[in-house]
Amino acid sequence: MEVVFAKYQGTGNDFIMLDNLDGTYNKLSLAQVIRLCDRRFGVGADGLIRINAATNYDFEVDYFNSDGSKSFCGNGARCAVAFAETLGVPVAHTNFMAMDGEHRAFKLNGSVKLEMKDVLHIEQLGSDYILDTGSPHYVHLTEEMEKEDIRSFGKKIRFSERFHSQGINVNLLEEKDRDHISIATYERGVEDETLSCGTGATACAIVYGALKRREGLHEILVDVKGGQLQVGFSYDPANGFTGVSLTGPAEFVFSGKIRI
């Protein structure tokens, strides 16, 4: 099979994009997905996205992690919006379907603003926190990020008895300044640290907002190793986090063809 692809990245989180609006890649196997994402034998990426046709929506974001597993990916969805624009999809305001349900997004110059799911519950586990922002996340607070090893800590949590079966993304969170945080993320499905994670940035910003009681409308700046994202929300302690959004760059890297 010859695959025509485009490569995009959002703050260092990189993705292979496939135009599947006409079903060309419907029969792409998981083994082929894994091969394409392999950084030595394929194109190389954290994940692969098929842009599918979807009834009553502008398109569907069909996301695969680099190990072939499926999930929702915030940065991937933002990059998918930028790629969809090149396919003729109007994305100044777009409405698409993803694994966790319906999303709206807005193209803002070089950035994409993505509406995320509401977060109504945060579980506290000792001094750590668990929540779902489209994908499940574990958040651990630290005051010395540079002394932490996210790979070993992430693997310890992700492959623990509770999370071994379904997996969980693991984040370290450090406060930099008021409404400004820094994070590091170990992603399930990639099974390594990534330079950025959109759902992880969202999860960490929400945990921070809850701990600091940032009630009402707020925006949190989130430093990731590949750049900076912005997470907006409206917080009411009685009703949780609504109007959640993730904003950041979605940039074209290169395009090509590969036979697999």
- At 14-71, the pLDDT tens digits run 999 999 999 999 999 999 999 999 999 999 999 999 999 999 999 999 999 999 999 9
143 and 222 fall within a common domain: yes
203 and 238 fall within a common domain: yes
CB 199, CB 190: distance < 8 Å:
no
Residue of 66, 34, 64 whose CA lies nearest to 49: 64
Query: How confident is the model at residue 225, as a pLDDT?
Result: 97
Question: How many domains is the chain built from?
Answer: 2
Q: Looking at the domain assignment, is residue 139 inside a domain?
A: yes
140 and 33 fall within a common domain: no
Say which residue the tokens 């993304």 belong to. Answer: 169
Say which residue the tokens 């929540």 belong to. Answer: 131
Listed as ranges, residues in the chain with pLDDT below 70 are none
73 is catalytic: yes
The residue from 37, 79, 197, 204 that is catalytic is 197
End-to-end, the C-alpha distance of the chain in Å comes to 5
Query: How confident is the model at residue 128, as a pLDDT?
Result: 98
pTM attached to this predicted model: 0.97
Query: How confident is the model at residue 191, as a pLDDT?
Result: 97
Relative to beta strand 227-236, strand 169-177 is unpaired
149 and 244 fall within a common domain: yes
Backbone dihedral angles phi then psi of residue 210, each to the nearest 5 degrees = -70, -45
Query: How confident is the model at residue 193, as a pLDDT?
Result: 98
Query: How confident is the model at residue 109, as a pLDDT?
Result: 84
Structure tokens at 180: 């400004």
Q: Which domain holds residue 149?
A: 123-248
The residue from 37, 73, 79, 204 that is catalytic is 73
Handedness of CA 71, 208, 94, 250 (dihedral sign): negative
239 and 255 fall within a common domain: no
199 and 254 fall within a common domain: no
- Which stretches of the chain are DSSP H helices? 30-37, 74-86, 150-158, 198-211
204 is catalytic: no
Handedness of CA 12, 159, 145, 128 (dihedral sign): positive
In three-state secondary structure terms, 186 is: strand
- What CA–CA distance (Å, rounded) separates 175 from 133? 20
127 and 244 fall within a common domain: yes
Query: How confident is the model at residue 108, as a pLDDT?
Result: 87
Query: How confident is the model at residue 254, as a pLDDT?
Result: 98
Q: Looking at the domain assignment, is residue 118 inside a domain?
A: no
Q: How many residues in the chain?
A: 260
Burial 54-75 (b: 16+ CB within 10 A, else e): beebbbbbbbbbbebbebbbbb
135 and 234 fall within a common domain: yes
92 and 159 fall within a common domain: no
